[in-house]
Amino acid sequence: MKLNKNRLDTLVKKTKEIFESAEEPTAFSTPGRTELGGNHTDHQNGKVLAGSVNLDMLAAAYKRDDELICVKSGTRPVLKINSSYLSPLRREIGKTAAMIRGVAAGVSQLGYEVGGFNACIISDIPRGSGLSSSAAFEITIAMIMNYFYCNNELTKLDMAKISQKAENIYFGKPCGLMDQIACVYGGAIKIDFNDSNEPEISKMDFDIESFGYSLLIIDAKATHRGLNDQYSALIEDMNKVSRFFGKSILREVDEQAFYENIPELRRYAGERAILRSMHVFEENKRVDAEEQAIKNSDFKEFLRLVNESGLSSELYLQNITPESAGGAQPMALALAICRRILDDCGAVRVHGGGFGGTIQAYVPIDRKKELKEKIEGCLGEKTCTEVYIRSEGCTIIN
């Protein structure tokens, strides 16, 4: 794993100063993640493609001999959490403290004694970038606790599940398990959530640059804030369709029966719920096709499928513009500009949850400068972030 030694040395020095210790702390790195395929399929026990990226969260930590967890993150004051109290707190919803407490609770629920530690954390994962800074933070805390209190006995999947639960129940944000799994495992992976307790995870060799392309994450300048109701409504639409068939998730619904019952579904769940469910059925098939295209080194076919996925998210899933946005449609505009610039030589899609945040573009390397200049001319400076697939997941650095 390539690591910026100056960045690590600066963090170690800062950690020693903040916590007034001459000892060398233990260092941890957790990558962000990019969704490569399978938009909003994970919470329906569907299939996804994801990859860890070169941007990461870096931590340096010491074990304490008491129950106090002290975390210095970014420019904020040191956050202090008593690990002896592990129930969710309403006042912590949406705050960093909730993720820390939730992870500690998850470790405790697996039968381990939890205690305190001092940690200093820095990140080059842009917040709101769709690269899962929250999942990377949760995994970092889980990795620290695993190292200090669990003798490294927690599996990667254990840490992913603990982190997802912390985000859902303690932090108060609905999310599937894809983000945490991608941050933990590293590389490009396919995840099949048919068995949500033991998802099938398979690694793929996927070097985007070898095909002459760059992967850009483009900030559409559309905030994620206050959009939990949009995500919840999206999931509830799919759940309505599932309940019509006596099921709890779309993965359990027979696709042929779904299409045969559209007249009744219109009355029971509404047209939007039907369209969103159609997206999930087709997106799961697209993930299989994308995996095969990668294995066959057929990048042209992969790009075609990415574009198809992007249009499906826009037209069927409808997670580009929030209902409350009125005339403000920055994500739709960003997608349209990218399609105009790329024409038929690349691919573009919404990245992650949607309604705000970022889009993803596969750009020929020789067109990268042109696209960056035109996009940033429309949306603002530092809108485009180039990312690479990192082969390692969460890692303890010796």
DSSP per-residue string spanning 58-98: EEEEEE-SSSEEEEEETTSPPEEEETT--S--GGGTTSHHH
> Based on the domain organization, do 201 and 222 belong to the same domain?
no
Q: Which residue matches tokens 């209902």? A: 323
> Based on the domain organization, do 156 and 283 belong to the same domain?
no
> Based on the domain organization, do 158 and 241 belong to the same domain?
no
Q: How far out from the chain centre does Cα 143 lie? A: 17
CATH number, residue 85: 3.30.230.10
Residues 103, 105, 110, 111: what is their CA dihedral angle, to the nearest 10 degrees?
130
Using CA atoms, how far apart are residues 318 and 116, in angstroms rounded to an integer? 44
Q: Name the phi and psi angles at 221, rounded to 5.
A: 60, 40
Using CA atoms, how far apart are residues 63 and 108, in angstroms rounded to an integer? 17
Helix pair 271-295, 228-244: axis angle to 10 deg: 100
pLDDT band at residue 357 using 50, 70 and 90 as cut-offs: confident
pLDDT digits (tens, 9 = 90+) for 322-350: 887 778 888 999 999 999 999 889 999 99
Instruction: Tell which residue, 143, 83, 80, has the closest CA to residue 115.
Output: 83
pLDDT band at residue 31 using 50, 70 and 90 as cut-offs: very high
Say which DSSP state 205 is in.
-
The angle at the Cα of 315, spanning 309 to 320, to the nearest 5 degrees, equals: 85
> Based on the domain organization, do 229 and 180 belong to the same domain?
no
Q: Tell me, what's the pLDDT at 225?
A: 65
Inter-CA distances, 3 with 67, 144, 173, Å: 32, 19, 31
Using CA atoms, how far apart are residues 160 and 162, in angstroms rounded to an integer? 6
CATH number, residue 378: 3.30.70.890
The mean per-residue pLDDT over the stretch 101-129 comes to: 93
> Based on the domain organization, do 134 and 232 belong to the same domain?
no
**H helices of the chain, where?**
5-18, 96-109, 133-149, 156-165, 178-185, 228-244, 255-260, 262-268, 271-295, 299-312, 330-342, 368-379
Q: Which residue matches tokens 């409350």? A: 324
The answer, yes or no, to whether residue 24 has pLDDT greater than 90, is: yes
> For the whole model, what pTM was predicted?
0.91
**Residue 352 C-beta-side C-alpha neighbours within 13 Å:** 28
Question: Who's near 100: CB < 8 A, 6+ residues apart?
Answer: 69, 71, 79, 81, 141
Which tokens in the block code for residue 84? 């002896």
Which tokens in the block code for residue 90? 């309403």
H helix or E strand, kind and range, residue 213 = strand 213-222
> Based on the domain organization, do 220 and 357 belong to the same domain?
yes
Which amino acid is residue 189, in one-letter code? I
Task: Give the DSSP letter string of 110-127.
Answer: TT-----EEEEEEE-S-T
pLDDT band at residue 1 using 50, 70 and 90 as cut-offs: low
Using CA atoms, how far apart are residues 352 and 368, in angstroms rounded to an integer? 22
- Structural domain including 126 reads 5-205+391-397
> Based on the domain organization, do 191 and 297 belong to the same domain?
no
Domain total for the chain?
2
Question: Who's near 354: CB < 8 A, 6+ residues apart?
Answer: 39, 40, 313, 317, 319, 320, 331
Which tokens in the block code for residue 52? 């860890």
Q: Tell me, what's the pLDDT at 224?
A: 61
> Based on the domain organization, do 198 and 302 belong to the same domain?
no
Q: Tell me, what's the pLDDT at 356?
A: 81
Say which DSSP state 353 is in.
T
> Based on the domain organization, do 247 and 373 belong to the same domain?
yes
Which tokens in the block code for residue 28? 């941890």
> Based on the domain organization, do 101 and 228 belong to the same domain?
no
Using CA atoms, how far apart are residues 109 and 188, in angstroms rounded to an integer? 30
> Based on the domain organization, do 12 and 95 belong to the same domain?
yes
CB 31 within 8 A of CB 55: yes
The answer, yes or no, to whether residue 30 has pLDDT greater than 70, is: yes
> Based on the domain organization, do 37 and 142 belong to the same domain?
yes
pLDDT digits (tens, 9 = 90+) for 195-235: 989 999 999 999 999 999 999 999 988 766 667 788 889 99
